Structure 1
Amino acid sequence: MSEQVEYTERRDGPADGHVRVRLDLSYDGREFSGWAKQAQGRRTVQGEIEDALRTVTRSGERTYELTVAGRTDSGVHARGQVAHVDLPVEVWAEHREKLLRRLAGRLPHDVRVWRVAEAPTGFDARFSAVWRRYAYRVTDHPGGVDPLLRGHVLWHDWRLDVDAMNAASVALLGEHDFAAYCKRREGATTIRTLQELSWERDGEGVVTATVRADAFCHNMVRSLVGALLFVGDGHRPVEWPGKVLAAGVRDSAVHVVRPHGLTLEEVGYPADELLAARNREARNRRTLPGTACCG
């Protein structure tokens, strides 16, 4: 078993004698059991990068643990994922100039780190983020999915009305309790601010949903997409997704669509001088106006 880093991370930055390093990365999620390391020993993005980092820094059995902007599920891709790792000052000084190239030589073909840099003061890949933007891609072409896109595009075998899907999306925008579209986790809030939800068909017939929020709860994007596809193919009226949201409970008709159509495209952060304040703010448990937190 790998040794874990022997210090407690402070909320406002790395421990004394350590440097916080930001990593920008991408991966094809098809062969991964999600981002986060798992006790069962399944292949994960975090596990692959931490193993590579340990090897190229010649750190023996010591593991430097990554913190990520968004924990993607099994099969979900990322183009603009962000993570950070806290390295001892001497390790960073020794390896910083060659770390990117060495990681490229050690990592498997389906995950790449594109940038490695010392993070500004107050940066936290998860808690400093102000939004995450995902894209979900689907085609309703009667012939199916282009074989070259099959790992990244869902086939929906009913014709989709993009205008109806955009109309239905409006009621979901803003700050709400998205319990009806999330898989609940003990102690976690389901209140989120959905900043953008829009659909567009390109010239090749691929329909892309752009979904941006301050954060997402488990299965939220894929549940929203599943509901809106039912509107797009005429199985539900435009008002239905909003009514499901207002009801606040899972509706058996809301399907969680398959993960391979989903890609984390980008993570947004505030100006450097606002990173620490955002870090602190995001750690607070959220409630809707007029409601009390039950602890």
Structure 2
Amino acid sequence: MRYALGVEYDGGGFLGWQRLAPDDAGDDPRSCTVQAVLERALSRVADGPIETVCAGRTDSGVHGLCQVVHFDSDAVRAPRGWMLGATSCLPEAVCVRWCAPVDDGFHARFSARARRYRYRILNRPVRPALGRQYLSWFRHALDADAMHRAAQALVGEHDFSAFRTVHCQAPHARRDLQRIEVTREGDEVVVDVQANAFLHHMVRNIVGSLLEVGTGERGEHWVGEVLRARDRTLAGVTAPATGLVFVGPLYPAECGLPGEVTLPD
């Protein structure tokens, strides 16, 4: 039977999502990945090996609010048993929020129609003490409205070569960026991005470029010019992983998943 899970994790101590090696499942998160510890926990519940497929891999230090995975198992367990059993075997930085049986045709990656990220920047002269593992910090004043206006040049289907790392393994750089919003909430500047899919470091490179607009170092039209040039060396620096959260994917209603990962009507 095939199941889908909603997984929440603090990625600060992990080497990213993707399993690296067969022995990548130690007790110390600093030497393992989220996928490895999740598969080990599920395998204990199933009393047999379990392999998972995720909606979108995250890098070292990136957090997940509702990563969606699927797995197959012949073990007879109720969804609640998978959820609570796996969570009891996971380190404190990871939990399974929900489990749902799905059709055999469901695929965590290929069935997703969109993916969402949020990047939070504490914009004040003094670094954070509380919540610092979930915030990036930028001391210079930022114009969030200018950043938002500049970001709208990225909306639509484009070649995002200027915003992906040289190590990106995607066969092409065309992505459909469906929505990007930059807002200020007190001392925080928040960047929300939704696309059909993302390239390696794409969100962090976009944020790094928007920061240059926010300080006034670059004009609002500059981001669109960088996009059209398709040259990574022209864009801003890669923003730190701290502060980036994979909010989760979105699926068609017929997949039967919880509302937080279902496309609105």
TM-score by length of 2: 0.89
Residue 65 of structure 1 is aligned with which of 51, 69, 80? 51
Is the 1:120–1:272 contact (alpha carbons within 8 Å) kept by the matching residues of 2?
no
Residue of structure 2 in register with 1:257 after alignment: 239
Residue of structure 1 in register with 2:132 after alignment: 150
Q: How big is the shift at 1:56?
A: 2.0
AA partner of residue 111 (structure 2): S
Residue of structure 1 in register with 2:202 after alignment: 220
Is the 1:180–1:244 contact (alpha carbons within 8 Å) kept by the matching residues of 2?
yes
Is the 1:57–1:95 contact (alpha carbons within 8 Å) kept by the matching residues of 2?
no
Q: Deviations over 1:157-181 (max 9, x none)?
A: 2100011101101111100010110
Residue of structure 2 in register with 1:196 after alignment: 179
Q: Could you tell me the percent identity over the aligned residues?
A: 40
Larger radius of gyration between Structure 1 and Structure 2: 1
Q: Deviations over 1:169-216 (max 9, x none)?
A: 11111000101101243462111000111111113x111100000000
Residue 271 of structure 1 is aligned with which of 247, 250, 253? 253
Residues of 1 paired with 2:169 and 2:134: CA distance? Answer: 31
In structure 2, the CA distance between the partners of 1:273 and 1:104, relative to structure 1 (3 Å rule), is closer
Aligned length: 249
Segments ≥4 residues shifted beyond 3 Å: 94-97, 184-187
- Partner SS state of residue 151, structure 1: helix
Residue of structure 2 in register with 1:12 after alignment: none
Residue of structure 1 in register with 2:101 after alignment: 118
- Partner SS state of residue 234, structure 1: coil
Residues of 2 paired with 1:261 and 1:273: CA distance? Answer: 30
Residues of 2 paired with 1:165 and 1:49: CA distance? Answer: 37
Residue 114 of structure 2 is aligned with which of 108, 123, 131? 131
Say what the alpha-carbon RMSD is for the aligned residues.
Answer: 1.8
AA partner of residue 212 (structure 2): F
- Partner SS state of residue 251, structure 1: helix
In structure 2, the CA distance between the partners of 1:265 and 1:141, relative to structure 1 (3 Å rule), is same
Residue of structure 2 in register with 1:236 after alignment: 218
User: Would you say 1:78 and 2:61 are equivalent positions?
Assistant: no
AA partner of residue 191 (structure 1): R
Residue of structure 2 in register with 1:172 after alignment: 154
- Partner SS state of residue 211, structure 1: strand
User: Would you say 1:206 and 2:192 are equivalent positions?
Assistant: no
Residue of structure 1 in register with 2:261 after alignment: none
Residue of structure 2 in register with 1:56 after alignment: 45
Q: How big is the shift at 1:259?
A: 0.4
In structure 2, the CA distance between the partners of 1:187 and 1:221, relative to structure 1 (3 Å rule), is closer
In structure 2, the CA distance between the partners of 1:97 and 1:143, relative to structure 1 (3 Å rule), is closer
- Partner SS state of residue 66, structure 2: strand
Residues of 2 paired with 1:206 and 1:94: CA distance? Answer: 43
Residues of 2 paired with 1:208 and 1:139: CA distance? Answer: 9
Q: Deviations over 1:25-44 (max 9, x none)?
A: 11000001000011384410
Residues of 2 paired with 1:102 and 1:67: CA distance? Answer: 19
Gapped regions of structure 1 (runs ≥ 5): 1-18, 276-295
Is the 1:20–1:119 contact (alpha carbons within 8 Å) kept by the matching residues of 2?
yes
AA partner of residue 77 (structure 1): H
Q: Deviations over 1:221-256 (max 9, x none)?
A: 000000001100111111111111100111255211
User: Would you say 1:100 and 2:86 are equivalent positions?
Assistant: no
AA partner of residue 89 (structure 2): R
Is the 2:163–2:235 contact (alpha carbons within 8 Å) kept by the matching residues of 1?
no
Residues of 1 paired with 2:234 and 2:51: CA distance? Answer: 38
Residues of 1 paired with 2:201 and 2:183: CA distance? Answer: 22
Gapped regions of structure 2 (runs ≥ 5): 25-30, 258-265
